[in-house]
Amino acid sequence: MNKFFICAASAFLLLLPAVQTAQSKKEKSKKNEEAVAPTPDKRPESGIKEYSKVITKSAVSDEGLFTVHKVDKKYYFEIPNKYLDKDMLLVSRLAKLPSNLGGGYVNAGSETNEQLIVWQRFQDKILIKSKSFNAVANDSLPISISVKANNYEPTLYAFDIVAFSKDSANTVIDVTKFYSTDVKAISGISAEMRETYKVKGLDDSRTFITAMKSFPMNIEVIQDMTYNASKPSMLEDTETISIQMNQSMILLPEVPMKPRIFDSRVGWFTVSQYDYGSNELKSDLKTYIRRWRLEPKDPEAYARGELVEPVKPIVYYLDPATPEKLKKYIKQGVEEWQKPFEAAGFKNAIIAKDAPTKEEDPDFSPEDVRYSVIRYVASTTRNAVGPSVSDPRTGEIIESDVIWYHNHLRSYRNRYLLETGAANPKARTLQTSDEEMGEMMRMVIAHEVGHALGFPHNMGASCAYDTESYRNGEFTQENGIAASIMDYARYNYIAQPGDKNIRFIRKMGEYDYYALNWGYRVIPDAKSPEAETAVLDKWILEKAGNPVYKFGKQSSTFDPSSQTEDIGNNSMKASSYGLKNLEYVAAHLSEWTSSVTNKYEDLDELYKELLDVWGRYVGHVVTNVGGVYENTKRPNQTGNVYEVVPKAKQIEAMNWLQEKAFASPTWIVNLNNLKNTDYAGYTEKFRNIQVRHLNNLMSLARIGRLMDNEILGADTYKALDFFKDLRRGIWKETAAASNVSIYRRNLQRGYIDRMAFLMTEEIKPNDRFTVYYNVSQSDLRALVRGELTALKRSLSAAKAGAVNTETKYHYEDCIKRIDLILDPK
């Protein structure tokens, strides 16, 4: 793992999931002539000194993978020659960084690079070579010569050999300059950042190595780097960017784990490589899942179907900083996965323990890659993450830390109140009970451990159950609120006041048992990854067609059955229930907050988050318009991979949006709350979220999918239907000769602005939009022009009717705006 709790100054330890780099089969280790340590009588003369003159008596030494020496202000690695040409992983992460670096999308713990490296001897130098597993071939095949010649590995750095150990078994190099200069391969400042912030260079006088620690399988280095920059992300007058980097170097297993071939029908984090030694008539892309190496202690008993303990179980240690009252819930969250592992044939496969005390184990350290730790971080960050480090050759997970940030509890308290408070009296308080908070924490830990076991988010799991089932107490107690803990389905917001025995908090699901068995069960007779595929495919086909076992990608933006933060298989029905509950909560929010505390801070915080909840419910419905279901399958399965959402369901979604999302709000702009928390901006709060969803509904990609529907048959919802229905709903006041409220006037101007965007936006290759059609040469602008012309006629007629002055002026302004779009000159 990437350990960087080396000193108190870096106690953030914010780690993100490891970038999945290319992999390969293990190359047979070959020692070239230069890798052999020279005997004392054959040492080169070029600057190599006696060991005692370099590593003096004043040296502070730390033994481990390499022995690390600090002599005065210099740092040395004493590298055992047996580790030359051995595969290692070098992971670079930001440990601390200034505000807004990277535009706010980069955080402490963000990985900036991950690379497979080897240390090699060349004459009187030691080289770090960055080794690629993007292209591989078995050494016994002739093509391996070409693969190596066409994938020559870059040298990251060349070190002069400064000494040899007395027995010549180790080589000493000075690494001070490597870790205190601007080496781009391990830098936290990308080329784009250098351009954005006008970085001139590294300031040596303000750059230094903070700490260096060696463990049996890894070395951790903390660097403080200060750059001169004309336009830094904060405190511009300083013309300075300071960051703290964590460099982790990890020894990879001598014998690589047998990998398991990935199948996109089951969700896994992966590693990939091109195999030029394949029998395919091209370079064969092979993708492996990321998982821990679990091997049964008793293979014969395992093969007979008995539960068997693994040779090496997965053990998580609790951070000593963890509050005592939370420890049992964290342990329960880790060990939630014991039952799924039993489904895969392993007992006691995953265990949670308290970290040993200094008396029990004086050498224990969270930075030691041999130990996985549940970190408890005193931070205002509201998050939890489950990163891991894996072998890029095989996908074997080497180590992981689950990070829990203290303030994440507040996020869950707030959402518990907002999303379940109407039907759940226990949630109607700022002082949520320890038992309730513990159950939430237990399930969040289980979710993050799922990531650390190799599972990505499965956003299809919350669509596995019928929406009405969420109001059934017996069903929710048995099944929770999603088929997988890996979905972002946190609470049951569908259950209504009066529903009995409801479970409101998520839990493990059937998909978790299925996916873990698929990835971790040992297939005894299979001698190669390829030999496993028939059995793995059979397991998938046995569950095919059952939504409980469907994997839904988080990256999907078009599939209404694979959305984040939703529950139920009908977005319109689920969001209607959700909004009904939210209306109740809005009416009682001050009663549950400021009336109790005699302060307005919590009311303000929760009201802002209430608007976010409203927006999520609306967003779930928007995805149905122009939606396409994605059902990943193979050619030997019936049906198509992609199916357009039925026309009736798209029309239902459009009608829902007009009625519930684009109408003037009667309850969400709650003045009793607002007049105690804000002095202005009441209408702007709602305009912002309404127009955001309107723009999303009128996105270029969505309209492109609707244009595609024209060739799919008569019973499809087409782009022309979409534009007509949208115009008639957004501008319904023009047909009724009625006044337009300030909320609707704001929304209508947002509509015109978006139509101007659709009429004029030029999309270039590699632009920020993902569109699968030529915008300029498509029907889009003809449709927009036609709709604006029709709208102008309606506005001209409506402004002459019995409307108030605000509405008349609004219509006149809209006509002028349309004229400028249709005829800019």
Q: What would the pLDDT profile of 468-525 be if each residue is shown by its tens digit? A: 999 999 999 999 999 999 999 999 999 999 999 999 999 999 999 999 999 999 999 8
Residue 718 lies in a domain: yes
pLDDT mean over 785-808 = 93
Q: Is the pLDDT of residue 657 over 60?
A: yes
pLDDT class of 10 with cuts at 50, 70, 90: very low
- Please tell me the predicted confidence (pLDDT) of residue 691: 97
Tell me the per-residue pLDDT of 693-736, one tens digit each, with 9 for 90 and over: 999 999 999 999 999 998 987 789 999 999 999 999 999 999 98
Neighbours of 418 (CB within 10 A): 24
Residue 339 lies in a domain: no
Tell me the per-residue pLDDT of 108-160, one tens digit each, with 9 for 90 and over: 667 788 889 999 999 999 999 988 765 444 555 454 455 455 556 889 999 99
pLDDT mean over 154-180 = 94
- Please tell me the predicted confidence (pLDDT) of residue 233: 86
Rounded-to-integer distance, Cα 630 and Cα 552, Å:
8
Residue 453 lies in a domain: no
Residues 507, 532 contacting (CB under 8 angstroms): no
- Please tell me the predicted confidence (pLDDT) of residue 146: 52
Q: Which range of residues forms the domain containing residue 61?
A: 8-252
Last residue of a domain, one of 194, 220, 252: 252
pLDDT mean over 225-244 = 90
- Please tell me the predicted confidence (pLDDT) of residue 367: 82
Q: Residue 570 corresponds to which amino acid?
A: N
Q: Is the pLDDT of residue 40 over 50?
A: no
- pTM, rounded to two decimals: 0.86
Q: DSSP code of 545?
A: T
Question: Residue 223: which of 202, 240, 250 has the closest Cα?
Answer: 202
From the CA atom positions of the chain, what is the Rg in Å? 30
Give how many domains the chain has, as a whole number.
Answer: 2
pLDDT mean over 757-771 = 71
Tokens of 255: 């014998």
What sign does the dihedral 530-532-536-541 (CA atoms) show? positive
Question: Bigger pLDDT: 273 or 428?
Answer: 428
pLDDT mean over 589-613 = 95
Residue 277 lies in a domain: no
Residue 570 lies in a domain: no
Residues 109, 203 contacting (CB under 8 angstroms): no
Last residue of a domain, one of 209, 234, 252: 252
CA distances from 144 to 164, 278, 281, 812 (A): 34, 11, 16, 73
- Please tell me the predicted confidence (pLDDT) of residue 286: 86
pLDDT class of 384 with cuts at 50, 70, 90: confident
- Please tell me the predicted confidence (pLDDT) of residue 6: 36
pLDDT class of 107 with cuts at 50, 70, 90: low
pLDDT mean over 221-227 = 94
Tokens of 442: 């237990």
**Lowest mean pLDDT, pick from 126-135, 309-318, 523-532:** 126-135
**Lowest mean pLDDT, pick from 141-145, 346-350, 688-692:** 141-145
In sequence order, the 6+-apart residues with CB closer than 8 A to the CB of 276 are: 135, 136, 137, 143, 144, 146, 147, 283, 284
pLDDT class of 21 with cuts at 50, 70, 90: very low
pLDDT mean over 803-813 = 94
Rounded-to-integer distance, Cα 735 and Cα 786, Å:
18
pLDDT class of 1 with cuts at 50, 70, 90: very low
24-57 burial, b at 16+ Cβ within 10 Å, e below that, comes to bbbbeeeeeeebebbeeeeeeeeebeebeebbee
Last residue of a domain, one of 252, 271, 299: 252
pLDDT class of 614 with cuts at 50, 70, 90: very high
Tell me the per-residue pLDDT of 353-373, one tens digit each, with 9 for 90 and over: 999 988 998 888 888 888 898
pLDDT class of 16 with cuts at 50, 70, 90: very low
Cα distance between the two ends of the chain = 62
pLDDT mean over 35-49 = 55
- Please tell me the predicted confidence (pLDDT) of residue 767: 52
Residue 52 lies in a domain: yes
Question: Residue 126: which of 88, 168, 79, 179 has the closest Cα?
Answer: 79
Rounded-to-integer distance, Cα 602 and Cα 659, Å:
31
Residue 246 lies in a domain: yes
**Lowest mean pLDDT, pick from 406-410, 462-466, 754-758:** 406-410
pLDDT class of 410 with cuts at 50, 70, 90: confident
Residue 402 lies in a domain: no
**pLDDT averaged over the chain?**
88
Neighbours of 227 (CB within 10 A): 24
